């Protein structure tokens, strides 16, 4: 199988990821911060190590501001529900995933004012439009870092600057970019950064997290046992405990740590260059396929390493099915849980076929994908 | 190491658990319900299989009413916040874990009326006290199935009956009993059952779930991409999607499935008998140790397989530390994230030392624990 669905979940994982998970399952089997025996202490160190690696990757000075969640969606919900109250105004874009859009629409019904700034047909956002949308009661700006449909990279540095100048919080959905495109929360003035563990960070499913910046205090989404300050009837203030209730996914977090070690040792800049080059070569190849439509911007620096396309008017799911069954190529198709983005680029009915490489993808894999699409196009016209 | 901390996390796990997890990591690496390629379909089947096994274990006719969460705490929060609104009255007990108590105290500040029925010094609840606490606006009764501090089993069948007769919902925290004591949600008239995957169910950390009964519709705690009805701006109604947003912990769920297969093939009644017998023999041995205080009821059928004790006035953490370092015995000590329960049994200052066997514990392990406690008692008196 040629796996080109890394924007959904990266695969394969570095060897160390599975090994680290096995080690936790076999050697420790215990619970960090919940006792004093040696298994507990060993696992506690592994969790701390992953927290420190994430802090290092995102330029976070204090690792306790990295909070573990089960996925990026939980992290986004934690930020959104933890901050917004009736009467607040929130600005987002027309390219967001349902993990941002659905919580915001839910809050809109409960008295939060929502404004979605329109992006152009390539999914591009004009930062000036964010600036003009700001009102007296604007509390939060939320944008994706890169669209999961078009790959379009948002001008997060400009938006962060605008937000900070107006005393507004800025939350970034890094579902497609954490571990793929370098991110520095201080440089980009990001207050909340939500990320999955199982995509660009090369960890297992069931992992993710939220960076909670020093300006922010959230109402916790989930409350319960924190293994600290057990005697308190209310959630403790200390980080990360305030936002981490119940037993953590220690085995997943250990795997995520191994993924991070791989990324940091290979160098994120290098893998980013490589993956975007693969996408440029995919785009060049696909452009020659009759009837193809490629979405998003063309310039290499304007897109994350994923490419959404359609063939004529054919339903995207049909093409994806043929790619899988006849060519052994795994891609994602449909609406990618982001109807707003499809509305923006005009594919709400057809969906798109999305190719997404990782650093384990070869030039040959890309050539095979182009070849397969050419053959499918020929077949459809015949 | 002699591992007697299974009430925190069970260890070791059955062999199949690690193997099932490895298989997902190496073979599939993909996302259920998010595409049509073969990896996706394979993982989707594994997730469905685990859902079906959980439904079988708990007597749930419709597996789609089993919702996966990252741990039992998330499941409890999902039920509590998803149901209670300002003006509602909720009844709970004085033996609850912080994962129930803290969300309820939080809601109390926001206009939910909270009543905690007092249990006796062994942690026992009189169902008549629940009955008398019911008011016109009582919407929900929440109790643990068995205390994580004393092991005391609550009369859930009687409480379920009272709740149903009054048209009140009944939620059970099965953190200490799922996979340990047989549970039938229909027989016990349970509307919401929260359970961890990594304790009695023998799965990995990072797993858990909530049974949402047919009488219940909750506001979702977390909203986002569900892989279904992507075009909707609001969370879909269909189960389990309504309550499962974002990528699931597929690798953990596959491991949990293997844990469930082990339990169902061994027979839950058999392992329950074995574990409670081990506890009776632990209690008999410990009773002879000078200065020991054993908490909770004595009768075998009145307690889940865990035993909390203290030695004289010595801090529980100190004894646990000695057990670990000098005897290689892993237990849990302190407040066990349940200060209400410690208040009830009078150990809020001292905490308790908790021994909890699993079906992998031997008679010899129990004898060693008794021997170690005798030696520590002698040393402390010397």
Model confidence pLDDT, tens digit, residues A22-39: 999 998 645 555 556 777
* B289 shares a domain with B250: no
Domain count, chain B: 2
**Which residue in B9, B235, B250 is closest to A30 by CB distance?**
B9
**B contact test, residue of A26, A219, A251 with most B CBs within 10 A:** A251
Task: With beta carbons under 8 A apart, name residues in chain A contacting B231.
Answer: 335, 339, 348
**pLDDT at residue number B63:** 98
Establish, for the pair of chains A and B, how many residue pairs have beta carbons separated by less than 8 Å: 313
Comparing alpha-carbon positions, the chain A residue that sits nearest to B6 is A30
Distance CA A148, CA B382 (A): 68
Per-residue pLDDT band for A73 (boundaries 50, 70, 90) equals very high
Task: With beta carbons under 8 A apart, name residues in chain A contacting B38.
Answer: 1, 324, 330
Comparing alpha-carbon positions, the chain A residue that sits nearest to B17 is A25
Task: With beta carbons under 8 A apart, name residues in chain B contacting A354.
Answer: none
**pLDDT at residue number A35:** 57
**pLDDT at residue number A144:** 98
**A contact test, residue of B69, B196, B205 with most A CBs within 10 A:** B205
CB-based contact A29 B22, cutoff 8 Å: no
* B262 shares a domain with B272: no
* A332 shares a domain with A360: yes
Distance CA A213, CA A186 (A): 9
Task: Give the DSSP H/E element, type plus range, for residue B44.
Answer: helix B38-58
Sign of CA dihedral A231, A233, A235, A238: negative
CB-based contact B25 A28, cutoff 8 Å: no
CA atoms within 13 A on the CB side of B8: 30
Tell me, what's the ipTM?
0.96
Through-space distance between the first and last CA atoms of chain B, rounded to whole angstroms = 27
**CB burial of residue A103 (10 Å; 0-12, 13-18, 19+):** buried
What the block records as the tokens of B364 is: 């010899």
A103-117, A172-186, B27-41: range with lowest mean pLDDT: B27-41
Range of the domain at A277: 2-10+267-381
Q: Is the pLDDT of residue A41 over 80?
A: no
Angle at B135 between CA B130 and CA B138, to 5 degrees: 85
SS3 content of chain A, % helix, strand, coil (to 5): 40, 15, 40
CB-based contact B29 A8, cutoff 8 Å: no
Q: How is B121-186 classified by DSSP, letter by letter?
A: TT----HHHHHHH--TTEEEEEEESB-TTT-BBP-HHHHHHHHHHTT-EEEEE-TTTTTTS---TT
* B233 shares a domain with B113: yes
Angle at B14 between CA B11 and CA B15, to 5 degrees: 120
Paired with B333 in beta bridges are B353
* B326 shares a domain with B210: no
Paired with A141 in beta bridges are A91, A170
**CB burial of residue A62 (10 Å; 0-12, 13-18, 19+):** exposed
Distance CA B245, CA A71 (A): 9
Q: Enumerate helices (H) and strands (E) in chain B, giving the number of each.
A: 11, 13
- Burial code of B138-172, b = ≥16 C-beta within 10 A, e = fewer? bbbbbbbbbbbbbbbbbbbebbbbbbbeeebbbbb
Distance CA B15, CA A380 (A): 49
* A136 shares a domain with A52: yes
Contacts of A112 (CB under 8 A, 6+ apart): A84, A85, A86, A87, A88, A89, A90, A104
Task: Give the DSSP H/E element, type plus range, for residue B365.
Answer: helix B363-381
Question: Percentage of residues in chain A with pLDDT exceeding 70?
Answer: 97
Cβ-contact B370, B289 below 8 angstroms: yes
Nearest chain B CA: its distance from A309 CA (Å) = 15
Contacts of B45 (CB under 8 A, 6+ apart): none
* B157 shares a domain with B90: yes
Of A244, A266, A288, the last residue of a domain is A266
Angle between helices B250-266 and A250-266 (to 10 degrees): 150
**pLDDT at residue number B164:** 98
Task: With beta carbons under 8 A apart, name residues in chain A contacting B34.
Answer: 8, 332, 337
Q: How is A316-381 classified by DSSP, letter by letter?
A: HHHHHHHHHHHH-EE-EEE-TT-HHHHHHHT-TTT-EEEEB--TT--HHHHHHHHHHHHHHHHHHH
Q: Are strands B208-212 and B192-196 parallel, antiparallel or unpaired?
A: antiparallel
Comparing alpha-carbon positions, the chain B residue that sits nearest to A317 is B36
Q: In terms of Cα–Cα distance, which of A95, A125, A153 is closest to A275?
A: A153
* A272 shares a domain with A262: no
CB-based contact B205 A339, cutoff 8 Å: no
Distance CA B286, CA B292 (A): 7
**pLDDT at residue number A231:** 86
CB-based contact B336 A77, cutoff 8 Å: no
Cβ-contact B250, A249 below 8 angstroms: no
Of A266, A296, A318, the last residue of a domain is A266
CB-based contact A9 B247, cutoff 8 Å: yes
CB-based contact B35 A73, cutoff 8 Å: no
**pLDDT at residue number A36:** 61
CB-based contact A34 B332, cutoff 8 Å: yes
Through-space distance between the first and last CA atoms of chain A, rounded to whole angstroms = 27
CB-based contact A230 B36, cutoff 8 Å: no
* B336 shares a domain with B312: yes
CB-based contact B324 A29, cutoff 8 Å: no
Paired with A310 in beta bridges are A293
CB-based contact B29 A13, cutoff 8 Å: yes
CB-based contact A246 B72, cutoff 8 Å: yes
Nearest chain B CA: its distance from A205 CA (Å) = 5
Comparing alpha-carbon positions, the chain A residue that sits nearest to B317 is A36
Nearest chain A CA: its distance from B164 CA (Å) = 27
* A159 shares a domain with A58: yes
**pLDDT at residue number A66:** 98
* B247 shares a domain with B149: yes
| Mean pLDDT of chain A, nearest integer | 95
Distance CA A195, CA A208 (A): 6
**Which residue in A71, A248, A333 is closest to B246 by CB distance?**
A71
3-state secondary structure of A57: helix
**pLDDT at residue number B59:** 98
Q: Please report, for the domain that includes residue A100, its CATH number.
A: 3.40.640.10
Cβ-contact A337, A284 below 8 angstroms: no
Cβ-contact A154, A143 below 8 angstroms: yes
Distance CA A94, CA A118 (A): 5
Mean pLDDT of A55-84: 98
- Strands of the sheet containing B307-311, edge to edge, are B292-294, B307-311, B352-355, B332-334
**pLDDT at residue number B28:** 67
How many other CB atoms are there within 10 angstroms of residue B27's CB atom? 13
**pLDDT at residue number B36:** 60
Comparing alpha-carbon positions, the chain A residue that sits nearest to B35 is A332
Give the pLDDT of chain B (382 residues) as one tens digit per residue. 899 999 999 999 999 999 999 999 998 645 555 556 776 778 889 999 999 999 999 999 999 999 999 999 999 999 999 999 999 999 999 999 999 999 999 999 999 999 999 999 999 999 999 999 999 999 999 999 999 999 999 999 999 999 999 999 999 999 999 999 999 999 999 999 999 999 999 999 999 999 999 999 999 999 999 887 888 989 999 999 999 999 999 999 999 999 999 999 999 999 999 999 999 999 999 999 999 999 999 999 999 999 999 999 999 999 999 999 999 999 999 999 999 999 999 999 999 999 999 999 999 999 999 999 999 999 988 7
Q: Please report, for the domain that includes residue B337, its CATH number.
A: 3.90.1150.10
Contacts of B140 (CB under 8 A, 6+ apart): B80, B83, B84, B88, B90, B91, B168, B169, B170, B171
Cβ-contact A41, A230 below 8 angstroms: no
CB-based contact A35 B250, cutoff 8 Å: no
CB-based contact B38 A317, cutoff 8 Å: no
**pLDDT at residue number B230:** 83
Contacts of A296 (CB under 8 A, 6+ apart): A122, A123, A147, A149, A150, A151, A152, A302, A303, A307, A308, A345
Give residue-wise pLDDT tens across range A140-158: 999 999 999 999 999 999 9
Comparing alpha-carbon positions, the chain A residue that sits nearest to B354 is A35
Q: Is the peptide bond before A240 cis (omega within 30 degrees of 0)?
A: yes
Of A212, A233, A266, the last residue of a domain is A266
**pLDDT at residue number B180:** 98
Distance CA A23, CA A41 (A): 14
Comparing alpha-carbon positions, the chain B residue that sits nearest to A242 is B102
**Which residue in B234, B246, B330 is closest to A99 by CB distance?**
B246
Contacts of B265 (CB under 8 A, 6+ apart): none
Comparing alpha-carbon positions, the chain B residue that sits nearest to A321 is B36
Distance CA B250, CA B31 (A): 8
* B249 shares a domain with B274: no
pTM: 0.96
Give residue-wise pLDDT tens across range A201-256: 999 999 999 999 999 999 999 999 988 788 898 999 999 999 999 999 999 999 99
**Radius of gyration for the alpha carbons in chain A, expressed in angstroms and rounded:** 21
Q: Is the pLDDT of residue A357 over 90?
A: yes
CB-based contact B76 A224, cutoff 8 Å: yes
Comparing alpha-carbon positions, the chain A residue that sits nearest to B73 is A246
**pLDDT at residue number A28:** 67
CB-based contact A73 B246, cutoff 8 Å: yes
Distance CA A241, CA A263 (A): 27
Cβ-contact A58, A211 below 8 angstroms: yes
């Amino acid at each position: 199988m040629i796996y080109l669905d890394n924007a959904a979940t990266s695969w394969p994982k570095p060897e160390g990821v599975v090994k680290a998970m096995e080690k936790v399952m076999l050697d420790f089997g215990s619970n960090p911060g919940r006792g004093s025996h040696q298994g507990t202490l060993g696992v506690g160190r592994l969790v701390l190590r992953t927290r420190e690696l994430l802090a290092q990757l995102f330029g976070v000075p204090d690792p306790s501001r990295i909070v573990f969640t089960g996925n990026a969606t939980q992290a986004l919900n934690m930020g959104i529900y933890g901050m917004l109250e009736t009467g607040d105004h929130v600005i987002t874009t027309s390219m967001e995933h349902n993990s941002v859009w659905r919580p915001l629409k839910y809050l809109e019904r409960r008295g939060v004012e929502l404004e979605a700034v329109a992006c152009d047909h390539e999914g591009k956002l004009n930062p000036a439009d964010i600036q003009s949308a700001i009102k007296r009661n604007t509390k939060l700006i939320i944008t994706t870092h890169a669209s999961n449909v078009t790959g379009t990279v948002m001008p997060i540095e400009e938006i962060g600057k605008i937000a900070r100048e107006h005393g507004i919080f800025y939350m970034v959905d890094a579902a497609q970019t954490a571990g793929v495109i370098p991110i520095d929360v201080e440089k980009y003035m990001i207050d909340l950064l939500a990320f999955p563990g199982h995509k660009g960070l090369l960890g297992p499913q069931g992992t993710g997290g939220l960076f909670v910046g020093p300006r922010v205090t959230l109402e916790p989404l989930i409350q319960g046992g924190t293994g600290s300050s057990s005697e308190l009837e209310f959630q403790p203030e200390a980080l990360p405990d305030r936002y981490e209730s119940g037993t953590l996914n220690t085995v997943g977090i250990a795997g995520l740590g191994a993924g991070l070690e791989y990324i940091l040792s290979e160098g994120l800049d290098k893998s980013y260059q490589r993956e975007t080059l693969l996408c440029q070569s995919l785009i060049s190849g696909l452009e020659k396929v009759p009837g193809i439509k490629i979405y998003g911007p063309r310039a290499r620096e304007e897109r994350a390493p994923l490419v959404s396309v359609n063939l004529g008017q054919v339903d995207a799911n049909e093409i994806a099915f043929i790619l899988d069954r006849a060519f052994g190529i795994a891609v994602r198709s449909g609406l990618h849980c982001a109807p707003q983005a499809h509305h923006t680029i005009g594919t709400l009915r057809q969906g798109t076929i999305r190719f997404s490489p990782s650093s384990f993808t070869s030039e040959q894999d890309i050539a095979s994908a182009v070849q397969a699409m050419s053959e499918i196009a020929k077949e459809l016209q015949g």
